[in-house]
């Protein structure tokens, strides 16, 4: 049996709960990366959740290597994509192409809960995001 076959047959699927990973609030909101190279050994991308309170923002950034799939489970947000505003309401998805600047704002009156997936992975984690506006803790 080949090494690839042996490795694949020995891989055990892993379930990760939203409560198993810490919130990342660096760019705003409650971002939790559930399925990633660090949590489950993913090799092609990563998946997580975003919770935004009313009027809360994820600051503008872009991904030089990955496209982002964003699905709004509940609530509603506005995505600013290269300066243009796009509404995203519950049960709708949005593809953010590689290299597109984007900022997400909860424009509704209720908590917004979204699921995101980015793929392919950047060659290194530090190359995954490029911030284009001050992060929340850096704003006055």
Domain locations along the chain: 28-138
> What pLDDT does 137 receive?
66
Above pLDDT 90, what percent of the chain? 83
Task: Decide if pLDDT at 14 tops 50.
Answer: yes
- The pTM score is 0.88
Q: What is the 3-state secondary structure (H, E, C) of the chain?
A: CCHHHHHHHHCCCCCCCHHHCCCECCCCCEEEEEECHHHHCCCCCEEEEEEECCCCEEEEEECCCCEEEEEEEECEEEEEECCEEEEEECCEEEEECCCCCEEEECCCCCCEEEEEEEECCCCCHHHCCEECCCCHHHCC
Average the pLDDT over 40-51 and give the result: 95
Within 13 Å, how many C-alpha atoms sit on residue 135's CB side? 10
> What pLDDT does 140 receive?
47
Q: How many other CB atoms are found less than 10 A from the CB of residue 10?
A: 7
CATH H-level superfamily of 28-138: Jelly Rolls (2.60.120.10)
> What pLDDT does 11 receive?
65
- Reported as a single tens digit per residue, the pLDDT across 67-120 is 999 999 999 999 999 999 999 999 999 999 999 999 999 999 999 999 999 999
> What pLDDT does 3 receive?
45
């Amino acid at each position: 049996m080949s090494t690839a076959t042996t490795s694949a047959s020995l891989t055990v699927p892993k379930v990760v709960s939203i409560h198993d990973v810490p919130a990342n609030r660096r760019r705003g909101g409650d971002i939790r990366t559930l399925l990633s190279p660090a949590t489950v050994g993913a090799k092609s991308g990563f998946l997580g959740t975003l919770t935004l309170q009313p009027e809360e923002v994820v600051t503008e950034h872009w991904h030089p290597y990955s496209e982002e799939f964003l699905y709004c489970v509940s609530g509603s947000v506005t995505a600013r994509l290269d300066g243009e505003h796009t509404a995203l309401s519950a049960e709708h998805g949005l593809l953010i192409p590689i290299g597109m600047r984007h900022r997400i704002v909860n424009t509704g009156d209720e908590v917004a809960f979204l699921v995101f997936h980015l793929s392919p992975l950047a060659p290194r984690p530090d190359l995954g995001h490029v911030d284009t506006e001050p992060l929340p803790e850096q704003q006055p």
